[in-house]
Amino acid sequence: MRHPITMRLFPKLVLVMLSLAIAPPPAFADKDLQRIRQSAEVEQSAEAQYQLGMRYLQGKGVNKDERSAVMWLERAAEQNYAPAQYKLGELYRIGKGVDASATSAIEYLTSAAEQGHASAQYKLGMMYLSGRTLDKDPAVAREWLELAAEHGHKDASQALAELDKAEAAIASATLAAETNQDAAPQTAGPQDGEARAAEAGDAEAQFQLGERYRSGDGVSRDLKEAARWYTKAAEQGHADAQYQLGEFYAKGRGVKKSKKTAQKWYKSAAAQGHVKAKYRLRGCGFC
Task: Give the residue extent of every domain in the chain.
Answer: 27-115, 125-169, 195-282
What is residue 142's predicted lDDT score, i.e. its pLDDT?
87
Residues 6+ apart with CB under 8 A from 60: 54
* Sequence letter at residue 170: I
**Inter-helix orientation angle 203-215/223-234, to 10°:** 160
- The whole-angstrom separation of Cα 243 and Cα 100 is 33
What is residue 133's predicted lDDT score, i.e. its pLDDT?
82
Which parts of the chain have pLDDT scores under 70? 1-29, 170-192, 283-287
Where are the alpha helices (H) located in 23-153, listed in sequence order? 31-41, 46-58, 66-78, 82-94, 102-113, 118-130, 138-150
Which of 263, 262, 266, 264 is CA-nearest to residue 275? 266
Give the CA distances from residue 175 to residues 166, 171, 186, 225, 237, in Å, rounded to whole numbers and listed in that order: 14, 6, 16, 16, 33
pTM tops 0.85, yes or no: no
- The whole-angstrom separation of Cα 287 and Cα 280 is 9
> 255 and 248 in contact (C-beta within 8 Å)?
yes
What is residue 276's predicted lDDT score, i.e. its pLDDT?
81
Q: How far is CA 253 from the centre of its chain?
A: 22
What is residue 153's predicted lDDT score, i.e. its pLDDT?
94
- The whole-angstrom separation of Cα 223 and Cα 124 is 24
> 208 and 193 in contact (C-beta within 8 Å)?
no
Half-sphere exposure of 77 (CA within 13 A, CB side): 25
What is residue 217's predicted lDDT score, i.e. its pLDDT?
78
> 85 and 117 in contact (C-beta within 8 Å)?
yes
Which of 88, 82, 29, 96 is CA-nearest to residue 53? 88
CATH superfamily for domain 195-282? Tetratricopeptide repeat domain (1.25.40.10)
- The whole-angstrom separation of Cα 46 and Cα 82 is 10
- For the domain 27-115, what is the CATH code? 1.25.40.10
What is residue 74's predicted lDDT score, i.e. its pLDDT?
96
Give the end-to-end CA distance of the chain in Å, rounded to a whole number: 87
- The whole-angstrom separation of Cα 88 and Cα 84 is 6
